[in-house]
Amino acid sequence: MKVSPSLLAANFADLTPDLEMINASEADYLHMDVMDGVFVPNISFGFPVIKSVSKICNKPLDVHLMVVDPEKWISAVSDAGGYIMNVHLEACRHLHSTVHLIHDAGMKAGVTLCPSTPVSMLVDIIEDVDLVLLMSVNPGFGGQPFIKNTLKKVRELRALIDSTDSHALIEIDGGINETTGSELAAAGADILVAGSYVFGALNPIERISILKAL
Ligand code: DX5
Ligand code: ZN
């Protein structure tokens, strides 16, 4: 299993120790949640923080934009050091165009679905994207309980990917711990995002290893 710890649960007053922990861990990526207070009812951090983090963190940055009109920010994410740019399907007017502009900027393109958005919405974009991020909580906050219906969506998405020429990875975000993580592994997930499960632990490196082993 690939693991993408979510910085949202880190210590914003002093990120360096948390980033050094990530560098020393088995994490595959660092997940960074950008929120605009419009698409979601919360505001987190923006591009200057991503840029500063990219100078210390040696893992590829998995940037999750919870903002309206994310196509406006493609060059900002790229300039800040983004590796994957995840945009919400619900926030894009022209998703096909946005995905290709993300590729033109040299990044991997991810499309994200809220819990109530069906996997069938991806049928005509699945071969163009590098990753699908399924939200297993309503976006905006860490520490929420996992929505069980996500397991059905992962199985549907796995079937859609396997029935096409898509090479998309399946990433899941929200309420992940060793229990929900092992259910997601069995359902066909490739990447687990975990915020409070990792950063809320006394031994976060061990928590990352537990998820890696699923
Ligand atoms: C929520 C964010 C998540 C969040 C997950 O909108 O997209 O990445 O950090 O937090 P946990 O793992 O605590 O549910
Ligand atoms: Zn996220």
Single-letter residue type at 71: E
Residue 45: what pLDDT?
98
Query: Which tokens hold the place of 169?
Result: 């990875």
Neighbours of 163 (CB within 10 A): 9
Single-letter residue type at 78: S
pTM to 2 decimal places:
0.98
Residue in 60, 61, 20, 67 with CA at minimum distance from that of residue 41: 67
Is 69 annotated in the active site?
Answer: no
Compute the mean pLDDT over every residue in the chain, rounded to the nearest whole number: 98
Percent of the chain predicted with pLDDT > 90: 100
> To test ligand 1's pocket by mutation, which of 87, 172, 196, 199 has the most ligand atoms within 8 angstroms of CB?
196
Is 162 annotated in the active site?
Answer: no
Mean pLDDT of 182-195: 98
The predicted-structure confidence for 110-153, as pLDDT tens digits, reads as follows 999 999 999 999 999 999 999 999 999 999 999 999 999 999 99
Percent of the chain predicted with pLDDT > 70: 100
Which ligand has an atom closest to residue 175 CA? 1
* Distinct helix (H) and strand (E) counts, the chain: 8, 8
Mean pLDDT of 6-12: 98
Query: Which tokens hold the place of 123?
Result: 């049928």
Helix (H) or strand (E) holding 32: strand 30-35
Give yes or no for residue 176 CB within 6 A of ligand 1. yes
Task: Give the separation between CA 190 and CA 171, rounded to whole angstroms.
Answer: 6
The predicted-structure confidence for 22-59, as pLDDT tens digits, reads as follows 999 999 999 999 999 999 999 999 999 999 999 999 99
User: Which residue is catalytic, options 18, 28, 33, 130?
Assistant: 33
